């Protein structure tokens, strides 16, 4: 049996790569990195890859627009699984050093923001330099004895850096929810979720009537997010997750009834309900 080819959002040394490595550990797949979310999804569509791993939402930062837009607009790609990955920020440097020897601290602006309590307490007076990615921050440390970077442990491994501290983020419960996309969704397992996107008319009660279809069947909605359509001014996309597999939900007449209340409905896929994962190690 040939090994599964899985595309993920590069570069290496990011939380996306850490999540991809966790998936690899379980499925013995071969990983390929791509430069954009669009490229990951497109390679699944064309068959160049079997699956693609992309971030869908971060607990603190919110939904990842590019992923949501591409899934909503793609005909032949579905959510096949999900993976909740804990965002554990590390402090790293080229040489083993004391914190008071650090003059400059580099990272992605989000990562600097997520560690602001630690920086205030342990690195007062240090110059913070935002760069394009945590991977770029780690790479720029080579040969610099007055610099440190914040990023995933994987970045330190790749660049042979010292880990000065682990878990320095202000909020210990920050996670990124990744989805694994494929050309078909997952078979029913008994503990499933379904993701969908729909549009409604701009009239009072439209969304209420849609939610009523779920409420009357006691189907729990686990997420709802409205997002402006990129195509039509004033048109909104509603992204929702509900409990249950789309095939089981179909038997209750749900999709037929929802279909009557909306102007557009697309099932993004059904997949096993994920749990927060242990860190890859």
- 122 Cβ contact partners less than 8 Å away, ≥ 6 residues apart: 99
Residue 169 beta carbon to a copy of itself: minimum distance, rounded to whole angstroms: 12
Q: How far apart are CA 60 and CA 58, in angstroms?
A: 6
| Residues 49 and 32: beta-carbon distance below 8 Å | yes
Binding of a copy of itself by 66 (CB under 8 A) = yes
User: If DSSP codes are grouped into helix, strand and coil, which group holds residue 212?
Assistant: helix
**CB-nearer residue toward a copy of itself: 67 or 93:** 67
Residues listed for the chain:
281
Contact status: 109 vs a copy of itself (CB under 8 A): yes
Q: What is the dihedral of CA 204, 207, 208, 209, to 10 degrees?
A: 100
Question: In terms of CB distance, is 75 or 218 closer to a copy of itself?
Answer: 218
For residue 139, give the 3-state DSSP assignment: helix
Would you count residue 15 as binding a copy of itself (CB under 8 A)? no
Among residues 27 and 74, whose Cβ is nearest to a copy of itself?
74
For a copy of itself, the closer of residues 183 and 227 by Cβ is 227
Q: For residues 6 and 200, which CB has a smaller minimum distance to a copy of itself in the complex?
A: 200
- Shortest gap between Cβ of 36 and a copy of itself (angstroms)? 8
User: Does 39 engage in binding with a copy of itself (CB under 8 A)?
Assistant: no
**Does residue number 11 form part of the binding site for a copy of itself (CB under 8 A)?**
no
Closest among 122, 141, 270 to 195, alpha carbons compared: 270
Contacting range for a copy of itself; rule: CB under 8 A; set: 4-12, 55-63, 80-88, 260-268: 55-63
Q: Per-residue string for binding with a copy of itself, 130-149, x by CB under 8 A?
A: xxx-----------------
Give the nearer residue to a copy of itself in terms of CB position, either 157 or 235. 235
Q: What is the nearest approach in angstroms of a copy of itself to the Cβ of residue 173?
A: 5
Task: Mention every residue, 6+ apart, whose C-beta is less than 8 A from residue 227.
Answer: 63, 65, 68, 69, 236, 237, 238, 239
Out of 61, 146, 166, 279, the only residue in the binding site for a copy of itself (CB under 8 A) is 61
| Residue 71 interacts with a copy of itself (CB under 8 A): yes or no | no
Cβ atoms 88, 169 nearer than 8 A: yes
Write out the E strands in the chain: 5-9, 30-34, 51-58, 62-63, 78-86, 90-93, 104-107, 127-130, 147-151, 162-166, 175-182, 192-199, 221-228, 236-243, 264-272
Residues 196-255 within binding reach of a copy of itself (CB under 8 A): 202-205, 207-209, 211-212, 214-215, 218-221, 223-228, 230, 233, 236, 238
- Rounded distance between C-alpha atoms, residue 96 and residue 248, angstroms: 56
Q: How far is the CB of 4 from a copy of itself (least distance, A)?
A: 29
Q: Is 274 in the site for a copy of itself (CB under 8 A)?
A: no
Report the candidate in 130, 75, 141, 140 with the shortest Cα–Cα distance to residue 107: 130
Which phi and psi (to 5°) does residue 232 adopt? -120, 125
Interacting residues toward a copy of itself by CB under 8 A: 59-63, 65-66, 68, 109, 113, 130-132, 171, 173, 202-205, 207-209, 211-212, 214-215, 218-221, 223-228, 230, 233, 236, 238
């Amino acid at each position: 049996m040939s090994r599964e080819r899985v595309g993920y959002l590069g570069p290496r040394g990011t939380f996306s790569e850490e999540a991809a490595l966790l998936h690899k550990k379980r499925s013995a797949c071969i990983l390929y990195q791509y430069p954009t979310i669009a490229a990951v999804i497109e390679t699944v569509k064309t068959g160049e890859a079997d699956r693609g791993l992309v971030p869908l939402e971060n607990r603190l930062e919110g939904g990842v627009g590019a992923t949501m837009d591409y899934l909503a607009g793609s005909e032949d790609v579905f959510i096949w699984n999900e993976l909740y990955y804990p965002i554990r920020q590390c402090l790293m440097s080229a040489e083993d050093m004391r914190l008071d020897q650090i003059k400059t601290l580099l990272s992605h602006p989000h990562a600097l923001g997520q560690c602001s309590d630690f920086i205030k307490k342990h690195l007062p007076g240090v110059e913070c330099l935002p760069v394009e990615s945590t991977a770029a921050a780690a790479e720029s440390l080579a040969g610099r004895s007055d610099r440190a970077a914040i990023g995933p442990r994987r970045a330190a491994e790749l660049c042979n850096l010292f880990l000065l501290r682990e878990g320095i983020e202000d909020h210990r419960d920050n996670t990124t929810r990744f989805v694994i996309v494929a050309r078909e969704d997952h078979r029913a397992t008994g503990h499933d979720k379904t993701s969908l996107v729909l549009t409604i008319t701009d009239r009072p009660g439209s969304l209420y009537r849609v939610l009523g279809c779920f409420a009357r069947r006691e189907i729990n909605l686990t997420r709802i997010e409205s997002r402006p359509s990129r195509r039509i001014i004033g048109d909104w996309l509603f992204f929702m997750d509900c409990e249950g597999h789309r095939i089981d939900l179909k038997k209750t007449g749900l999709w037929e009834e929802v279909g009557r209340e909306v102007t557009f409905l697309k099932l993004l896929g059904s997949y096993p309900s994920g749990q927060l994962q242990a860190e890859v190690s």
